[in-house]
A = this chain, B = another copy of it.
Amino acid sequence: MVGTDKAGKKDGIVELARRRGFLWQAFEIYGGTAGFYDYGPLGALLKRRVEDKWRDFYRREGFYEVETTTISPREIFEASGHLESFTDPAVVCKSCKSFFRIGETVNVGLKCPECGGELEAAGEFNLMFQTRIGVSKGESDERAGRKSEGYLRPETAQGIFTNFQRLLRFNRDKLPFGIIQIGKAYRNEISPRQSLIRLREFTLAEVEVFVDPKEKNTHPGFEEVKDRMLRMVPGDGQEEEKSIDEAVRHGIVANEYLGYHLARVAEFLEKIGIPHDRLRFRQHHRDEMAHYARDCWDAEFLSERYGWMEIVGVADRGDYDLSAHASLSNVDMSVHADAAKITPHIIEPSYGIDRILYALLESSFDEEQVVSEIRRVLRFKREIAPIRAAVFPLLNREELKHKAREVFQKLRDAAFLIEYDDAGSIGRRYRRQDEIGTPYCITIDYQTLEDDTVTVRERDTMKQVRVPIGKLKEVLA
């Protein structure tokens, strides 16, 4: 495991991700715009696989998915508190007029990192992208202006909350139930200089679980998850690895519902390939919590490039949102339970899909010395690898190519994502597939023409075995 040092390795994955079509800076032909990235063909496949796994994971909880709009009118964020509280403090350079977010490395009193000029406080900036819905004559008229104000959502959750009564009816008026949503969300960052992880446009996968507040301490599935081990950093304590059962019993995690979902988050992340030893759960301090949260735990990934970074947030939002919408809209958001009317509480695991993809790329990336060369390989779990297998003719001869295309077609018809490659030496073709994390390379040689067997080479071990063509589907499945 040598080749390059750590600094080289962490740059290596960024270079590979760009070169092989995972992740591209958007609008690069026009110089690029900070905070916007595009997924190339392999990145989009990886993203789809992770999203599909996620969807399947929460569907098994019995949760249904919805898809709500990304643009919302002003009222939504008036009620949700985002108009007032979703802000960052900024400083501006007196001389070059660049804006910076306060915190991290920049502060009033320091010099401008761009030109060395003097910085001054520039107030709080709201982080929502604003737009205008439709046209209205009276745009100078304040009331008409407000009516047409629209915002790009900073979280997908509000689209679920505003449909709460319909969703409750869909669930036949019974609590608890869960709703999931995957979709774009937006933060108009002041200065997104850590470009890969601080995006202005990103994908969230959110779960909103509506629960009777009296039942937060008895989750019917807790028994199933209780022994899962989590590395935890409580707000007022020190890091320790413990079972979720212990964490709930000792009051480190406030209730079984929150505990259950923390355990499920850990399960999902490890299932798709985030290494257990690069994952921890950190409780927010009171002063860093979002305005709607009563309690919040971040699942953090230890990045070689960025240090500990949040990839999932698990919040107890209490009745904040439903009460706020009920009050602003005058629509009842309560539920009849036990001869009383209660407003449900909301437990919300919110996954940052782009950061999870970055974490998967970084932690799967490996470089090793093989004979006189450096082999770069993405050690993706088989189920999330963009391409399941590649099919090669050993040599560039018509009879081998013909047979290889036949095998390729057969596997593709079985709904696997397969590549065909006949360009360059066999060694070079292996290296191309290693770089994009393809678990299997299938080679057609002259023996294949005689006995219908092929060689299957496994990515991680580089071992080759001979397999009858009729058994390939089984090997790949």
Contact = CB atoms under 8 A, between A and B. Distances in A.
A208 B159 CA distance: 32
A268 interface: no
Given A99-B134, A136-B99, A71 B129 contact: yes
B188 A69 contact: no
Q: Give the oligomeric copy count.
A: 2
A395 to B, nearest CB: 19
Interface string A11-41: 0000000000100101111100111111111
A290 to B, nearest CB: 21
A66 interface: yes
A394 to B, nearest CB: 20
A305 B117 CA distance: 64
Most buried by B among A70, A179, A412: A70
A331 interface: yes
Interface in A59-109: 59-60, 64-73, 75-76, 90, 92, 97, 99
Interface string A108-143: 000000000000001001000111111111100000
A90 B38 contact: no
A437 interface: no
Interface in A172-223: 172, 179, 184, 186, 188-191, 200-201
Given A29-B331, A71-B201, A99-B135, A66 B44 contact: yes
Contacts of A30: 73, 75-76, 162, 328-329
A57 interface: no
A15 to B, nearest CB: 14
Contact of A97 (B39, B45, B136, B200): B136
A185 to B, nearest CB: 11
A133 B69 contact: no
B27 A76 contact: yes
Contacts of A24: 163, 166
Contacts of A167: 40-41
A306 interface: no
A68 B56 contact: no
Find the residue from A27, A59, A97 having the highest chain B CB count within 10 A.
A27
A417 interface: yes
Contact of A44 (B41, B67, B188): B67
A313 interface: no
A388 interface: no
Interface on chain A toward B: helix, strand, loop, or mixed SS? Answer: mixed
Contacts of A130: 131-132
B135 A125 contact: yes
A27 B134 contact: no
B201 A29 contact: no
A327 to B, nearest CB: 11
Nearest to A71: B201
Interface in A424-465: none
A387 to B, nearest CB: 10
A278 interface: no
A308 interface: no
A94 B249 CA distance: 69
Given A43-B67, A66-B44, A92 B166 contact: no
22 contacts: A24-B166, A27-B72, A27-B162, A28-B162, A29-B329, A29-B331, A35-B134, A37-B69, A38-B68, A40-B166, A41-B64, A59-B417, A60-B412, A90-B135, A99-B136, A122-B135, A125-B135, A130-B131, A131-B152, A134-B200, A135-B190, A184-B184
Interface of A: 21, 24, 26-30, 33-41, 43-45, 47-48, 56, 59-60, 64-73, 75-76, 90, 92, 97, 99, 122, 125, 129-138, 150, 152, 159, 162-163, 165-167, 170, 172, 179, 184, 186, 188-191, 200-201, 325, 328-329, 331, 412, 415, 417, 423
For the complex of A and B, 5 pairs with smallest distance between CB atoms = A41-B64, A97-B137, A39-B67, A29-B329, A38-B68
